[in-house]
Copies of this chain bind each other. A is one copy, B any other.
Amino acid sequence: MALGRDYEKQNCSLARALEVIGERWTILVLRDLFYGIHRFTDLQAHLDIPRAVLTDRLTRLTAEGVVRRSEYQRGRYEYSLTAHGRELWPALFALSQWGDRHNAPEGPRRLFSHAPCATDLAAGGMCPGCGTVPAPEEIDVRPGPGARPDRTDAASVALRSRHRLLTPLLTDA
């Protein structure tokens, strides 16, 4: 289709990436999956997104091999990032850092640290402690000075304490 999805004339890797993740809401869906939010209802509540759009994005991401869908009860599904999806971490981190520099008068809203080194990440997602660019499995998120605790949905509340990326939030029981 002509809007949002295709940049076919561009012989460019960036354009190819944007065809997969460049639509409205898609990157925020991926962010939530990195945070460990993985059920439809929790995603919908945390993103405050129309359900039809969330369905569409999850379906498309699944078709592209970025997200995996699995049934955790009969009729209930959960979504997680594939290895391919997890490789998007440096891109999301870089965008997030830029958003903080551009517009975060009270400091970063969230801080990311390399858990084994207990060191906050620097530019490019690099850990100054060990000089590598850690995989998301080794990264902790926690609220920063610019965080505003105004949301009350379950996912927002759970994210107010330190949490390892990719490990599920909000499992029942």
In this complex, what residue of B is CB-closest to A100?
Answer: B13
Which of the candidate stretches A16-24, A36-44, A70-78, A165-173 sits at the interface with the other chain?
A16-24
Complex CA distance for A17 and B146, rounded to whole angstroms: 15
Interface residues of A (CB under 8 A from B): 3-4, 7, 9-18, 20, 22, 24, 27-28, 31, 47-48, 64, 84, 87-88, 90-104, 108-110, 123-126, 131, 133, 146-148, 150-151
Complex CA distance for A93 and B123, rounded to whole angstroms: 13
Q: Which residues of B contact A17 (CB under 8 A)?
A: 95-96, 98-99, 102
Complex CA distance for A14 and B112, rounded to whole angstroms: 13
Complex CA distance for A31 and B22, rounded to whole angstroms: 14
Complex CA distance for A88 and B108, rounded to whole angstroms: 17
In this complex, what residue of B is CB-closest to A103?
Answer: B16
Q: Which residues of B contact A92 (CB under 8 A)?
A: 14
Q: Which residues of B contact A133 (CB under 8 A)?
A: 123-124, 126
A-B complex: 9 closest residue pairs judged by Cβ atoms: A17-B99, A13-B99, A124-B124, A91-B94, A124-B133, A16-B99, A90-B94, A14-B96, A13-B100
Complex CA distance for A99 and B98, rounded to whole angstroms: 20
